[in-house]
Every structure is written in structure tokens, then in C-alpha cells.
Structure 1
Amino acid sequence: MYRSEFYVYDQGQPVKAIIRNYTKNDFDQLIEIQSECFPPPFPAELWWNKQQLTNHVTIFPDGALCCEIAGKLAGSLTGLCVEFDPNNLNHSWEEITDNGYIRSHNPNGDTLYIVDISVRPQYRKLGLGKLMMQAMYHIVIEKGYARLLGGGRMPGYHNVVDQMTPNEYLTAVISGELDDPVISFLLRCGRVPVGIAKNYLDDEESCNNAALMEWKNPFKSQEGGV
């Protein structure tokens, strides 16, 4: 089981934080986090439900992480294992994550795939998203996976959709010409773009596109040896 204790700074004051695996005892708070991160008009039926969360902690508990501050869950990060084909980037979030139920988890896969990351709005300036992502990197190394991968929304793309393609938008963000709240965050976490997945999810702001972003295991060679 994963557990890491450390301090973050809230308005200049150190606050103790814990990243650990979430369990059934955390389900109510995890659903509450979803409600805060995706408030109406986002449909409540698309928040985590208890069957999805039960699958997370039973099918692949290593990929079920949360961050706790003063006994309260501040955020969560969920992943599953898949076999990734770098020559086939086009997949949807629903297909690869089994719509969040992760029955598509492949225990023999080579890639830790991010299903969801959520941080309560009141804690978003503490750097918890980046710290949870780094915790997942630890799991990639410990399990010997080749990479961490996930599709990043591009919520700023709809502002320039008439001016550039999704790939051109991604290039502009990487070059620093544009800033995107999700892609720029993932770049700061050490993630590197590998391409665009079209029709990734029903997302008006991203025009249904996502940037596939990876972090390669630095201890694993391209040939597959550690």
C-alpha cells in the first residue's frame, strides 16, 4: 500500500498532507470531491458512483490514490494498467477506462493510464495535483511499467479553433505562445505530449480532442529491460 507524508504551504503556513491509497471508507468524500470539481450544470450521474469506486479498490488498488489534509480528503487520482500501442493513438476515454469502471484493466500491461484527477477548489493552490502525479510516477517505477499515460483536456482550444488545428494548438502551448490550464499543468508535472486523440470525450471546450501525455519510466530502457 502507498503512503507518503509531507508538508505543503497554505498562505505561508506549513500544513501536513498525506498521499495514500483510498478505501471504501473514503467513498462518500470521493463523490463529494467530484461534486465540487464538477458542479451543475455538469450532470451528477457522471460523478463517481460507488460501483466504480469499488472496482478501483478491488481491481487495481495500487492505482487508487487520494490526498488527505487534516483528516479531510482534498483530492484523488485514479489509474489502471493497459497495453499501449504508440502507433494507435485514437481511443476514447470511455473505451480505455471502461467508462471509469476499469474492467479493462490489464494486469500484464506496460502502461499506467490515468483515469481521473480531481482536487477540491479550496486546495488547488497547494500543488496537490502535481504531488499526486509524482506519487503515480513512484508506482510506475515500483511496478516496472514503461510509462504513465493519459489524455489531457485542452479547454483553451475552443478559443482558437478557427485559427489552428489541435496539433498546432498543442505546439503553441509547448512553445509558450499559449497557456492552457490543463496541458500547461501536465507539462509542469513532467508529462510530454505524444499526439492528439480525436473524439476522446464529449468536451465542447476541447472540441472533443485530448492531448495524450506521457511520463516515461527513466529506469526502463526502450528495449524493455530495467
Structure 2
Amino acid sequence: MNYYKEIYVFDQKIPIKTIIRNYKEKDFSDLIEIQKASFPPPFPSDLWWNKEQLTNHVELFPEGALCVEIDGELCGSMTGLLIDYHIGDPHKGWDEATSSGYIANHNPSGNSLYVVDICVRPEYRKYGLGKLLMQSMYETVVQLQLKRLLGGGRLPGYSRHAKEMTIDQYVSNVLTGRIHDPVITFLLKCGRTPLEVIPNYLEDEESLNYGLLMEWKNPFLFQK
């Protein structure tokens, strides 16, 4: 099932037509360049996409392979896979949860969409494209009648506070607004809610290898 949406973003008062769609093989080179620009050192370069990973994305779960473009230029992407998840399940690090980005563990019968990656070129972040990609993936969750979107978020601000507080204290400060974390605060603004801290989530100096498992529940399937 293909995804295609036209929407406008604004450069101050000027509307700019934007397209969100499934990415395909012809986009692979651009997607790799976006990764390089989005995740500069000290982020490990071996975690940038390669063509084999991208091939798996579009072949195993094309519905979870989204990109955004402006004036024909790819500006960002978001990737997911399906897993079967129940609250309380032990959570894995990024490598195990995503088969190191190859999504070989994609479960077509899974009940949850797990986010593998989201990235936007730095020069395009002023347009809110990351939030638009996230909203588009929420729409995919609804369309596929899944229970939730799930994923681990980096905590790149933690390394600056690790000497004065534990990871749980850091997360609590982010949730109360006393600390702004570039990733977790963004995910909160996108509608995600925290579940648990994940030690050894990803080899990541800035996060001291921690991640925060966060979800978005399908509002049509969950009732109070």
C-alpha cells in the first residue's frame, strides 16, 4: 500500500509545497547523504544506512519506509518495522530490536510499528519536517490497525548532566521541562509518551548509550 501526501510548510510567511511518500531504490544515494548530514561525529559512521539495509526496508516493509521532499530534493526520512509487543516485555537495544537496521526480524503479523530511524537534513529542520514524518507514521499505524508506534529515543543531552544526576533523574527533569533534550523533547512534542529507560540501547557518546522507550497509542484501539 503506497503512501503519498502533499502538504505545505512555511518559510516565514511563504508556503512551500512538500511531499511525503514511500522511498524507493532510486532514493538510496540521497538517503545515505541525509544520514551523514544528520548524524555527524561523534555519532558512529558505521550506523549510517547502507544500500543493503535500505533494500531490506523497501522489500520487507515498504509501508514503513517514508521520505519527505521539497522542490524535488529529499530532505529527510523515517523507517519502521513491525514487532509483536506487550507492555512489560523486556526491551532490547537498537541492534537487536532492528536487526542492526536490516529489519530482518520484521514480523508481518506484529501488533506495533517500531521506529528504526528518523532524520532530517539540518538546513531543513526549521520547517518541522520531523514532526510531519512522525504524524505520517501515526497515520500508517491507524491504516494498518496496529496498537501503537513504539521506539527508543536517544538522550543526547544527558552526557552534559551525568555527573550531577542519574539517567532517571535526567528523564524526570526533561518531562517537567527543567531540561530541554534535543531528541526527547522533540518526541514529546510529537505526541510520544515515555515507557522506560533502556541501558545499552545504542553506542552513543552523547547519550552515554542510554535510550528512552516511548510510544504513541492508536487512539481508535485504546479506550480509557
TM above 0.5, yes or no, is yes
Q: Supply the distance in 2 between the matched residues of 1:95 and 1:210 (Cα, whole angstroms).
A: 14
Aligned length: 223
Aligned partners of 2:163, 2:45: CA distance in 1, in Å? 32
1:19 aligned partner: 20
Q: Is the 8 A contact 1:190 1:215 kept in 2?
A: yes
Aligned pairs for 1:145-184 within 5 A: 145-184=146-185
Q: Is the 8 A contact 2:82 2:114 kept in 1?
A: yes
Give me the identity figure in percent.
57
- CA deviations over 1:17-55 (Å, ceiling 9, x no partner): 000000011111101111211235655443211110000
> Deviation per CA, 1:81-131, whole angstroms, max 9, x where unpaired?
001132134310000100000001011111100000010111011000000
Counterpart position of 1:128: 129
Distance 1:87 1:208 in 2: 21
* Backbone CA RMSD of aligned residues: 1.5
Deviation of the 1:185 alpha carbon: 0.2
Q: Is the CA contact 1:89–1:195 (under 8 Å) kept in the aligned structure 2?
A: no
Structure 1 distance, partners of 2:210, 2:65, is 25
Say if 2:195 and 2:214, in contact at 8 Å, map to a contact too.
yes
2:116 equivalent to 1:104? no
Do the aligned residues in 2 keep the contact of 1:146 with 1:220 (CA within 8 Å)?
Answer: yes
Moved more, 6-15 or 61-70: 6-15
Work out the CA distance in 1 between the residues paired with 2:61 and 2:115: 12
Shift of 1:221: 3.0
Q: Which residue of 1 aligns with 2:201?
A: 200
Residues 42 and 205 of structure 2 are in contact (CA less than 8 Å); yes or no, is this contact kept in structure 1? Answer: no
Structure 2 stretches lacking a partner, 5+ long: none
- The worse-fitting range, judged by mean Cα deviation, of 66-75 and 4-13 is 4-13
Shift of 1:207: 1.2
Amino acid at match of 2:66: L
Q: Cα offset for 1:209?
A: 0.7
Partner amino acid for 1:79? G
Q: Is the 8 A contact 2:43 2:205 kept in 1?
A: no
Aligned residues of 1:90 and 1:198 also touching (Cα < 8 A): no
Partner of 1:217: 218
Find the counterpart in structure 1 of residue 51 from structure 2: 50
Q: Cα–Cα, structure 1 residues 97 and 31, in superposed 2: closer, same or farther, change >3 Å?
A: same
Q: Which moved further from structure 2: 3-12 or 74-83?
A: 3-12
Distance 1:112 1:74, change over 3 A: same
In structure 1, stretches of 5+ residues that fail to align are none
TM-score, length-scaled by structure 2: 0.95
Which of 21-30 and 37-46 deviates more? 37-46
Q: Secondary structure at the match of 1:125?
A: helix
SS at match of 1:173: helix
> Is residue 137 from structure 1 mapped to residue 138 from structure 2 by the alignment?
yes
